[in-house]
Amino acid sequence: MKDGVQERQAGLSRGMLLLMAFSAGMTVANLYYNQPLLADIGRSFGVGPDEAGVISTCTQIGYAAGMFLFVPLGDIKERRGLISVLLALVCVSLIGVAAAPNLIWMYAASVAVGLTTIVPQVLIPLAATLAAPGGQGKAVGTVTSGLLLGILLTRTVSGLIGGTWGWRVMYGIAAAAMLVLLALLRMKLPKNVPSQTLGYGQLLGSMFGLVRRHAVLRESALIGAANFAAFSIFWTALSFYLEGEPYRYSSQVAGLFGLIGAAGALGAPLVGRLADRFRISRIIGVLLALNLLSWLLFGALGGSLAALIAGVVLLDLGVQGTQVANQTRIYALDPPARSRLNTVQMVTTFLGGAVGSSLGSFAWHEWGWRGVCLSGGGAMLFGFLVWAVHRVRFSRSAPVRRDAA
């Protein structure tokens, strides 16, 4: 056992953990370059917010499909090689977006970007596998923090670069960045060959058995879907809201709101450490309450810049912290199946995100900011109710392991 611990620690030094966090942020950014630029992209193709909002939806749907089809391979394939192939494919997909001659091409290329941008969901279970016992929450929190910072800072970078030189230049730079990251990870990541010998069909089929066996997985997945639906509703509609009254901000300024959200994402490693020490379900309840509070601020005081900023910090801390806590507890359910557990969690989460992206643009078009706030707040309320119902059922059942709570 001692040798196994030393072996894990050697495979996950601080430098390696930070590299994995950086890589997760760089790759997940591919999904979100479009959000602060949707208005600009729509104008370049001569379409309105509804048609432009479908671009984000296509990316999220592609990401969900990629997680279902490819992330489970992390339980049976050597992960460094899998990551290398995925980075090469996403580079080609990003070039396709940059060269898109029409909206249909843009939709198809956006699906391809989502389909191949799944490296973060291979890296997170890998970090949990390499971490020393008792340190999985910290490892997951650190890599997830990099992923979350990538999501949020992407909006700032994309708003500045795309708003200055055009959205096509932004995607060309993203493609070049993936080539550089491919070379770096190929050199630095350790080889990791899982012990599972399942066939691909068995691998996919086994995920349904995991869903049936683990109530915690079902709860975590539903909460993740609700959280990310609310998250996507907000960020999809924000650029449209900030362009109008009372703010009248450009896409460059709208992108700067990603820096504000990054303050909330920096709490993810702390949530991971707390998840290693305290009952995770209680941490999740507190974070969900923060999410609800953020939507109350958006709805009641959205015309106040201070309230909008405070709401962004609370929303991102709540959503991202909940994601870290959920991933930490599901990885404890069945360690050899971590990639498949992560697939169930994240496919459900990003399907929620895809619904949220469409709902955000639709609610804005039909009802304005008030409709956006009602939609986002409703999604968060659903997530809180899922958590509360599970707590009631858990309190009536026989005691179970702490990690299953």
Of 196, 190, 163, the closest CA to residue 80 belongs to 190
All residues at 6 or more sequence positions from 101 whose CB lies less than 8 Å from its CB, including other chains:
none
Sign, CA torsion 208/210/212/215: negative
Report field, pTM of the whole predicted structure over 0.85: no
Reference 219, options 298, 308, 281; nearest CA is 281
pLDDT in tens, 157-202: 887 888 788 889 999 999 999 999 999 999 988 887 776 777 888 8
Quick one: pLDDT band at residue 272, thresholds 50, 70, 90?
A: low
Report whether pLDDT(32) > 90. Answer: no
Burial of 271 (0-12, 13-18, 19+ CB in 10 A): buried
Confidence label for 265 from pLDDT (cuts 50, 70 and 90) = low
Looking at residue 102, its pLDDT comes to: 92
Residue 239 has pLDDT above 70, yes or no: yes
Please answer whether residues 129 and 203 qualify as being in contact, where contact means their C-beta atoms are separated by less than 8 angstroms.
no
Peptide bond into 336 cis (omega under 30): no
Distance, in Å, from the CA atom of 388 to the CA atom of 365, rounded to the nearest integer, reads 33
Please report the pLDDT score of residue 251 as a whole number: 64
Chain segment 287-310, per-residue pLDDT in tens = 999 999 999 999 988 788 889 989
pLDDT bucket at 244, cuts 50 / 70 / 90:
confident
With a cut of 90, say whether residue 219 has pLDDT above it.
yes
Domains detected in the chain = 2-404 (1.20.1250.20)
Q: Express each pLDDT in 38-77 by its tens digit.
A: 878 888 888 887 788 888 889 988 988 898 898 888 888 8
pLDDT of residue 303: 80
